[in-house]
Structure 1
Amino acid sequence: MPPPIEALTPSQATLLAVYLVSAADLPRLRVLIAAHPKVFLTSANNETLLRILLCLPETTPPDTYTPILDAVVDGTPLEPPAVDADTPSIDTTSVENLSSSRCERKLSQLLPAPLLQAGSSASDKLTAFLIQRSERIDAETGLLSLIAELLAHYTARPGLPSIAALATDVAVLSTLVYTFSREPVPSLTTFRTLPVEDALEVLIADPSTVPRDLEALVVPYLCVREGGGWDAVWARLSALPFARIVAVVREWTPPPEERAVRAEFVTWAVGVCYRCMETGAGVWEGMRAVQRRVVALGGGGDAHVPEVLGDLGDAGNPLFAALGLLDVGITAAAMLGRPLAEAVKLRLEGSREVQSAVLRQFVRPGTEWSKRDDEAWGRVRDGARWLRSKAQVLGRLEAEEVERVVLAGMLAGMRFGLVRDVYVTSNHTTDISLDEVEKCVLAAFNDFVDNATNGNKTRGGMKNALQAIKTIYPHASNSPTLSRANSLINAVHSLSNYTMPSTNRTTPLIPVQIRIHPDPLSLLSKLLSSNTRSYQHPDALLQIGSDLVHGTGGSEADTLAASPRVLGMCAEAALDEDDFESAYAYITSRLLPAATSRNEAARSTLWRTALLAGRFQSPYALLSGTTPRGPAALANLEKKRELLAWALAYCPPEALGDVLASWRRNEDDIEVLMQAEELAEEEHARLGGSVAQRRMSIARDGETPQSLFEVAKGAARVFSSGVGGGITAPPKEGQERERKRDVVSGMVTRGLVGGLGWVLGAQPSVEVQQR
């Protein structure tokens, strides 16, 4: 018969307890403990009992062994359960024949390692047991609810703070598994050893549920952690997309009792806005929501605005407390299309040059700005003025500069009606003077002209250039500069009606080449050479020349010289096209009156053009080898002699020899022609012609060639009479007409006064010396 349990040695009783616990036979275990209290319940041996209880099956209901645990912690006797006649006795056969040493060997194999060092308190031992028991249950079964049931018995017990933290971890994991159905989740053992940063990766894994997870998981988890760990929370939240961060700020409220956490949350929320590098309508709306939420959480005060942006990663940055600046900064960032930090930095640290560049980008962003309508341009102007005055983001710029940039943008965007209404008609409501408006208009005018591909003022760049100056000219300003711009448009437009090749002769002349041409009047020479018979419209060319000189900033002298020069070009073009009569008409009827009015430019042009026409030989006659005959030919030579006389009258002394050589050739040509005519008449008379027919000879009325010596003698007589240098203008209607030959001879004589007088020993008059 086996011995009673009271007869068991301590080693045998301990080994038997292990067997009973492993079989979850807790009633008999309690009987065994009651029979051997010194073996199990003394302070020296109670850890052994806790180690034995760790051998319980993990599914054992906690309420079946918590009374034993209470006896261990409290040090009170453990009452055995009530035993009736039907309760079987404890079987000791498994240990009765084992020696103490053998029992010890078996116990070392079956029992877990010691919980704590010797001398630890009962509370510490119980804490260690509960932690190991909870981890064993989780590892073997994953029944977190069973762990929670076990720990619930001790969470309110004083002296067990670690159990409250353990119970919180179990509750957090239970919420993840049972409430949120989150899989996979780390084991309790792993979760308890995770650093706060890694644990938050587990708790805040789904960006779409962050506000809920903060409330249900993170707050409980951190409330039992020493040191809080909220810095890690802010860092984890900062890694979320900005839209999710906005949702967190709007939907989650920090624990009311945690004032420090709430203050940190407000600072973090403002800092997130400054660190956000995103732009767009959704971002600005989100920042507005953050600002409103921050104010609602008690951040309504406004700190002093700092002088620099500072370190945006520093939670102590005073910038984060300046909520008024945040409000203005969000609006400015939205208007500029820049991150908030850039907009605020522009206000605090931006130089005048940088702010000026930002203003230009604001007025003309991207490629679509020119398509704005008047309403959109009005918003741009209001925005630019607000950015300078209220937001001070462009505070280093003058109001006039802001208006100037906006005005230039409107002009470049071809909103001419708006420019006239705002900056001209209502100029008193702007920050820019009418003179500055005129400068902006002229700058835009030049840009349009320089980018125009065609000179026609009814389309393209030239049309825009004309509309630009019409915003102010002539109703608001008739300044010389605007007048010149208008003349340039007229000149370029008129030139566009002609063929005007550029320097490479393959592409047409464009407006900018006209505007910057060093000698714009010379373009008319190209016009005349490229457009047949264009010289027949001198009045149109004179107007173009006048507009060209005036429009390109020519001086008064240039303007005075323009008309004679254009007429000279027309005469030369007529000669180039074998039209001597037109050239003769231009010289005698238009250039000559200007020359006699003491226009030096006209005089210079007259003698050169007259000399060229006086030398003219018809290309047709030269090519055909024929010699002109008859009255028409002699009349032509007489006209050339007249032209050479005018050339002689107005040429400088150094050109006199060349003019006289041409004169002599002309006289020779006349003499040859007259001799040929006389021979022809004699032949005609010999053949029976009448005297009347002979008198039709070209050498009628005693008009025989006058030699150069005779002309020189006439010049000497002029000198001796003390009269010289005066040029007689063509006779007016009603005056007695001199014989044409006498007039021409007189001109030549007087012309020689200044050129040959020194040969004859004459002393010219003061007027001649001045010439």
Structure 2
Amino acid sequence: MASSSNYARWIDLAGNELSVDSVEEILSHIPDDFWVAAACYDRLVDDVNVQRTLLQVGLTRTQPVFDRVNHLFPDTNANVNDTHALTEHFESNITDAQLCYIRSVLLKRMDRLNTFVELCKEAPEYLQRESGMDEEDAEWEDDPWAEEPSAKPPAKPPFSLSEFLTADLLHSAYQLAFERWFGALRVLFDRHGKYLWPFRFAILDQIPDYAPPSDYHPLLPSCNTLTNMEQSPTWNEWRLEPDWSESSMVTSALESCRDSWDLSIFQEAEIPEPPFHVDPLTGEQLSAWYQTRVDAIVSSTGMIDTVLTMVQHGASHGVPLLDELGEDLSLLSRLVYDTPRNSDAPDEDWTLARWRVMDPPAIVRAYLSRSSPTTLPRDISRLVMPYLFVLESRAERAGNPDPSLAQRLLHEYILGAPLEMAAAVFEASKPTLPPAQRLIKDDEVVVRLALSCLYGSNSLNEWSTMSRIFECLPAWDIPRADSEEDAADTTVASLGAYVTPSTARPTCTPSDLLIFFSPLPLSSLSRALDILDVHLESGEILSRWSVPAPLHWFLQSSNDAAEQRAWANRMSRRAGGAEDQLNALEDWEWLLEDMLKLNGRGDNKIAGAFGLLSRDEVLRIYFSGLLSTGKFDIAKTLLHSRKTQLVLDTEIIEDICLSSSREFYDNANSGNYNFGDMKLAYECLDVPIPSDRIQKEKEFIEATSRLSSFNVMSRPGIPISPIEIRLTKDRLSLISRVLSSNSDAYKHTEVILDLVHKLGFRNDIVAEVKALAMLADSALQAEDFTRAYDTCRRMTDTVLSLRMSDMGSDNPQVAEASEVCWVACFQLGRQSEFDVTNQKLSLLGRAIEICPPDRLNDVLTAWRRLEKEDIQAREERLHDRRNGAVETDHQKHAKRLPETAADSLQARLRNFHMPSPPLLSTPDAAALASKTFRSVTANFPFSVGSHRGRSQLSQQGEDQSSVSSRGAEEDVSAQASRVFSKGIGWLIGADENL
């Protein structure tokens, strides 16, 4: 009964209620060894002492089976026959077989229990910190009044004791690796290494990538340098000799009789078996594993320092082929962790794969990408130079030594760096520094690099930086013969052609220039520095006046006078100057001084930026630029100052002023000379001494302003521009456009004539006569016959005085004026609407006097017709008077024939021996006159006006009412009228075929 109650007590007692005493008390009273052993096998608790008691009790109860089996088979390592006999025994005694299996399991659990106890002692440091005091406790750690702190429970492994006893050891190893219990993992390897060794790499792969390798160095594989094989560790298992239940004979016997009883109920859960390596790996295989592991960690975390520690450990433990990987990681670590930080720029994602595909120049740039001019020399020394030395070492190890590799890569970076960064390098390479402190120690190399950087730069505003670079260069005192100096200058001249862009090389880079400067001897380099000094000073001057040029421009333009002239023009025209008159004058004096400095040669006989130009040409360019800014008061002051260097001939000053004035004129939007560019064009002519040319140009500007006031249009709605006025070939056409576009313009005869004079026709009688003819024609079209008559009288007086002058009537100009005059008189004299007969007869008389002989019949016919009409009118008035009619004042006036015109007419008829009048009235004579008159009037293109149309209709009506004897004569008149109606274009340059 007591035994039965113990069975029930054991079954009813929960695992967490077990204690050491309860286990011993209950199980000691149960006599059944198999039941007790199975109970100990079945019960798993997390209390170490209770679990140990269970295992000890179970092992004790399995001891009798050992006595029985050992009595039958004293040698457990017997032969096959004994194994077969043992199998038969187990098949007939299942209890013994089960007890043997339970014993083997309990022994393994005892080993794991002991291992678990040691595992708990190897908690990681971070867990110990977490389970230790908190920040508040640390703050009051030395408080003497504080109570004694209670002991903190130790950190627990990632699994419980019961889980560890039943789980697969590999799974437990995975958990320890993942949770970073590296000390516990070492214990596990030490106590159960025979089982875990084949899976060592799978276990290492479970370690988080971010875990520092220094925490698990002992777990990393190492290599025996003598055998080039993986170092096999020694194990410290709990039992040096296996128990009899673990012998091969017992194990085989149990496996053979497993069909007799269900062995699976006693089996532990297993996990899938990962790839394993039972045999040690070769050194190359270990190296490949390290590289794979490094790539995985860098790709996932980017922690270069972590993998560097791992590789260093492997290399120090004999793993081959890790030196280069370690170098790459070390160099990459410098790039990631040692380069200057920039809070504005995000950190780049650096990986080993990216590092391996980058070329050396790109790596050098990456090292220095965040450097400042202040830190650049130090960064080159501590970051770039170690990398370059590694490259040299690798090239040497590969059998391809390249002693200039480091120097070449460093030079390549300097040539491609901004000038501010390059200046920092040159300042760290000054000849005045101790050799050990100089970044570049060879003076000639420094000079070649500086020349290449400066002349290869396109910068327009870094002259202070360029001067800093120049100040870092050595000052060689090398006496040179003239031949050496010429050779150096020739070299620099050829350099100018070298830097000039071409199809083959659109731009000349600093690297290209270094190729050019590399073979130059010391004397040529010294001369190049002298030239560089001049070019830098010239560049600063050009930059000061807002016309900067890159330094290589001075080489390109050294043999190009046109380029120098163009730049001098830009310099003179872009100079602004202060608004204050005094300051502006000082600025322009300073500009003149600088332009002359660029034109001269210094003590070293090196020409400046404008060295190919003469001094006079530079002065002309300067003066022209001064005028282009409209600073005419300053121009006058400089011209008349005794201290000025602006000394030019009067004619040159006049030419420049005229050219500048015309430039203002051509750029003007309005012709009004009271404002804008036209005002500047006018005032510019006050700078030189007055002369005929200056006065003529001023008058032309005045004429332009007057034309603009008349609103002459270039196209409908668009006023004529000044440039169109200047480009008009025949400027008298402008008078025609004024008269045609302004109905009252003809009334202002003196204004129009003054406009003609100012357009460039002063003292030009022909132009004046043509202008008067236009005025007369405009008055005629407006039916203002009085003004038309007065204008024609003035025109005829002018022509007659011209014919009586020394020029004579045979002069081409006199002939042209005469032609214009007689046609205008003929036109007005034959107008039917003009009813003042004596004036008309006077005009026709003047036309007869002036016209050429071959036109005389045409004019005379009209005169005779008018005379006949006048005679008829007189006869009618005489008849009326006889009848007592009273004469009107007009009739009295009409009886007074112009004696002068009559006398002239009679003289002209006598001179030319004209046939008798009846001859003209014959049909043949009339036809001949008509033909002749058509040839004359074909060149009378006066503009069509309302009066002209009405005159023609009136004339046609008169022709219809005329007698038939005058039919031929009227045909001639009608033809002339139609020709006259074509306008006045013939007066302003049309070809005349009269």
> What's the TM-score once normalised by structure 2's chain length?
0.48
The Cα offsets for residues 723-755 of structure 1, whole Å up to 9 and x where unpaired, read as xxxxxxxxxxxxxxxx85554432321121222
Deviations 1:298-348 (A, max 9, x none): 66879944332254032515476522222222333342423222323322x
Shift of the 312–677 alpha-carbon distance from structure 1 to 2, 3 Å rule, reads same
Per-residue deviation, 1:249: 3.0
- 1:461 Cα shift? 3.2
Structure 2 match to 1:275: 456
Return the match for 1:354 from 563, 572, 585.
Answer: 563
Instruction: Quote how far apart the aligned CAs of 1:198 are.
Output: 7.5
Aligned residue in 2 for 1:389: 600
Tell me the alpha carbon deviations over residues 362-389 of structure 1, each in whole angstroms, 9 at most, x when there is no partner.
44569x9999966655555444333332
Which of residues 899, 902, 909 is equivalent to 1:752?
909
Cα distance, 1:411–1:193 mapped onto 2, change above 3 Å: closer
**Cα deviation digits, residues 171-198 of structure 1 (max 9, x gap):** 989987887799999999x999999767
Q: How does 1:359-758 map to 2 (within 5 A)?
A: 359-364=568-573, 377-390=588-601, 391-423=607-639, 429-430=645-646, 432-474=648-690, 478=691, 480-502=692-714, 504=715, 506-550=717-761, 559-588=764-793, 591-592=796-797, 595-596=800-801, 598=804, 600=809, 601=814, 603-618=818-833, 636-678=836-878, 680-681=880-881, 685=884, 693=886, 698=891, 742-756=899-913
Query: Shift of the alpha carbon at 1:472?
Result: 0.8
The within-5 A match list for 1:127-146 is: 142-143=308-309
Measure, in 2, the Cα distance between the counterparts of 1:446 and 1:536. Answer: 32
Give how far 1:356 is off.
2.9
Alignment partners' CA distance in 2, 1:346 and 1:462: 36
User: Match of 1:236, as an amino acid?
Assistant: Y
Contact 1:207 1:240 in 2 (8 A): no
Preserved CA contact (<8 Å) 2:538 2:608: no
Residue 487 of structure 1 aligns to a residue whose secondary structure is: helix
C-alpha separation between the residues in 2 aligned to 1:300 and 1:168?
Answer: 46
Residues 1:361 and 1:289: Cα distance change in structure 2 (over 3 Å): same
Query: Using a 3 Å threshold, how does the CA distance of structure 1 residues 237 and 207 change in structure 2: closer, same or farther?
Result: farther
- Post-superposition Cα deviations, 1:575-621, rounded to whole Å, max 9, x if no partner, equal 222222233333446642651461554654543333223212228xx
Give the Å deviation of 1:140: 8.5
Of the three residues 261, 264, 273, the one matched with 2:441 is 261
Amino acid at match of 2:513: L
Q: Give the secondary structure class of the aligned counterpart of 1:578.
A: coil
Asked if the contact 2:635/2:687 (under 8 Å) is kept, the reply is: yes
Alpha-carbon distance between aligned partners in 2 of 1:181 and 1:378, rounded to the nearest angstrom: 50
Per the alignment, residue 99 of structure 1 pairs with none
CA–CA distance in structure 1, aligned partners of residues 337 and 789 of structure 2 = 114
Deviation (angstroms), 1:230: 1.9
CA distance in 2, matches of 1:498, 1:338: 48
Give the superposition deviation at 1:57: 12
CA contact (8 A) 1:410 1:419 kept: yes
Give the secondary structure class of the aligned counterpart of 1:308. Answer: helix
1:641 Cα deviation from its structure 2 partner: 1.8
Letter in 2 for 1:526: R
TM-score normalised per structure 1: 0.60
Aligned to 1:312: 513
Tell whether the 8 Å contact from 1:567 to 1:586 is kept in structure 2 after alignment.
Answer: yes
The answer to whether the 8 A contact 1:611-1:643 is kept is: yes
Any conservation in 2 of the 1:456–1:493 contact (CA below 8 Å)?
A: yes
- Secondary structure of the structure 2 residue equivalent to 1:528: helix
Q: CA deviation at 1:533?
A: 3.4
1:371–1:413 Cα contact (<8 Å) kept = no
Q: CA deviation at 1:661?
A: 1.0
**Whole-Å Cα distance in 1 between the matches of residues 350 and 671 of structure 2?**
80
Residues 154-303 of structure 1 aligned to structure 2 (within 5 Å): 200=364, 204=368, 206-208=370-372, 209-219=375-385, 227=403, 229-251=406-428, 256-257=435-436, 261-263=441-443, 264-279=445-460, 281=461, 283-295=462-474
- Paired with 1:173 and 1:697, the residues of 2 have a C-alpha distance of 121
> What is the Cα deviation at residue 694 of structure 1?
6.3
Counterpart-to-counterpart distance in 2, 1:277 and 1:665: 89
Residues 219-258 of structure 1: CA deviation (Å, up to 9, x unaligned): 5666796726222222234343333222333356687147
1:250-296 CA distances to partner (integer Å, 9 max, x unpaired)? Answer: 356687147973433443234222222233x3x2221111111224x
Structure 2 CA distance, aligned partners of 1:655 and 1:612?
13
Q: Which runs of 5 or more structure 2 residues have no equivalent in the other structure?
A: 1-185, 187-213, 219-224, 227-239, 242-276, 286-303, 318-323, 342-346, 394-402, 480-484, 499-511, 602-606, 918-994
SS in 2 for 1:470: coil
2:799 & 2:369 partners in 1: Cα distance? 97
Aligned residue pairs, count:
565
Kindly provide the amino acid, as one letter, of the partner of residue 524 in structure 1.
I
Q: CA RMSD in A?
A: 5.3
Task: Quote the offset at 1:485 in angstroms.
Answer: 1.0
Q: Distance in 2 between matches of 1:214 and 1:456?
A: 68
The secondary structure found in structure 1 opposite 2:685 is helix
User: Alignment partner of 1:307: what SS?
Assistant: helix
Whether the 8 Å CA contact 1:520–1:548 is kept in 2: the answer is: yes
- Alignment CA distance shift 1:232-1:592 (3 Å): closer
Task: Return the alpha-carbon distance in structure 1 between the equivalents of residues 476 and 852 of structure 2.
Answer: 93
TM-fit CA distance, 1:465: 1.6
The Cα of 1:361 is off from its aligned counterpart by: 4.0
Match of 1:98 in 2: none
Q: Percent identity between the aligned chains?
A: 22
Spell out, residue by residue over 1:522-572, the C-alpha distance to the aligned partner (whole angstroms, 9 max, x if none): 432332333233333322222222222347xxxx6xx13333333333333
Q: Distance in 2 between matches of 1:698 and 1:198?
A: 113
Cα displacement string for residues 138-194 of structure 1 (whole angstroms, at most 9, x for unaligned residues): 9987459999xx99xxxxxxxxxxxxx999999989987887799999999x99999
Matched residues in 2 for 1:513 and 1:590: separation?
30
- Determine which of 551, 570, 574 is the counterpart of 1:340: 551
Distance (Å, rounded) in 1 between the aligned partners of 2:281 and 2:736: 120
Contact in 2 for aligned 1:168/1:220 (Cα 8 Å):
no
CA offset digits 1:690-732 (Å, max 9, x no partner): xxx46989479xx97xxxxxxxxxxxxxxxxxxxxxxxxxxxx
